[in-house]
Amino acid sequence: MIPSEHESKLRRLNQIFLEENQKLNLSAFREEEQSWVGNIEDSLSILDSPLLLGEGKPVLSEAEGGVRSLKILDLGTGGGFPLLPLAICQPESKLTGLDSTNKKISAVERITKELSLTNVDLISGRAEELGRDPEHREQYDLILSRAVAGTNTLLELCAPFAKVKGKIVFWKSMKIDKELEDSLMARAELTCHLIDQYEYELPEPFGKRQLLVFEKTSPTPDKYPRKIGEPKKKPIT
């Protein structure tokens, strides 16, 4: 659901995004309603999920006794999804958007400025390199990724950024049995346990989708991530 107190800013985000999208090819969703559902509502599906952190406290809703302030990384943010809708709805959290395409990061920077979002950092670079940087390795409570790669590849790219007990969330379609099976070795090797498959439904033509939620239980072995391109070319199997 769209939090009503943030709706007008989210509508503005949709408009600015569509203007940027006319100049750059950031997303296939070019109409207002299509982008609203396919980008904004889809990104915010995580707000309805029963995602838990630490002592069973909701990750993204207000915890008893105060608002949660989390460090969140969106890996392969592209034109800013799920990064920007979440930054609007989670003003107490600090969000970082990472993408290897410079022009996309520049576009997201312009959108962020236009919306005066002060809780967003942007980095243009490869996950394989940044995941080795001590400033970023094992520093995040929550890693998010939508439409970037297969689960086995993504786990290798995302796990190094997560704190122990941190969560990793992927936006996926429903038919992923084979993809999940192909990720068994990566899950074991990186100690990323699938703890939830949260299903949600968007209006047609989008339909049913799901969030895969993983928890990382020990530090990532030094050899991961491997060098640029390898997690995709030769996923852990």
Q: Can you give the binding site for ligand SAH, defined by CB under 6 A?
A: 27, 76-79, 81, 98-101, 104, 126-128, 146-148, 157
Return d(Cα 113, Cα 119) in angstroms, integer.
Answer: 11
- The two tokens of residue 81 are 């999804």
| CB of 117 vs ligand SAH, minimal distance in Å | 17
The smaller minimum CB distance to ligand SAH, of residues 58 and 200, is found at 200
- Give me the least distance between CB of 62 and ligand SAH, in Å please: 26
* Residue 44 or 148 with smaller CB distance to ligand SAH: 148
Identity of the residue, 78 or 85, whose beta carbon is nearer to ligand SAH in the bound complex: 78
Give the nearest residue (CB) to ligand SAH. Answer: 78
To the nearest whole angstrom, how small is the minimum distance from the Cβ of residue 66 to ligand SAH?
30
Return the number of the residue (52 or 176) whose C-beta is nearest ligand SAH.
176
CA 186 to chain centre: 19
Q: What are phi and psi of 101, to 5 degrees?
A: -100, 110
Give the DSSP letter string of 75-143.
Answer: ET-TTTTTHHHHHHH-TTSEEEEEES-HHHHHHHHHHHHHTT--SEEEEES-HHHHTT-TTTTT-EEEE
DSSP codes of every residue in 174-220: S--HHHHHTTHHHHHHTTEEEEEEEEEEETTTTEEEEEEEEEE-SPP
Smallest distance from ligand SAH to CB 115, Å: 17
**58/125 with CB nearer ligand SAH:** 125
Check: CB of residue 36 under 8 Å from CB of residue 14: yes
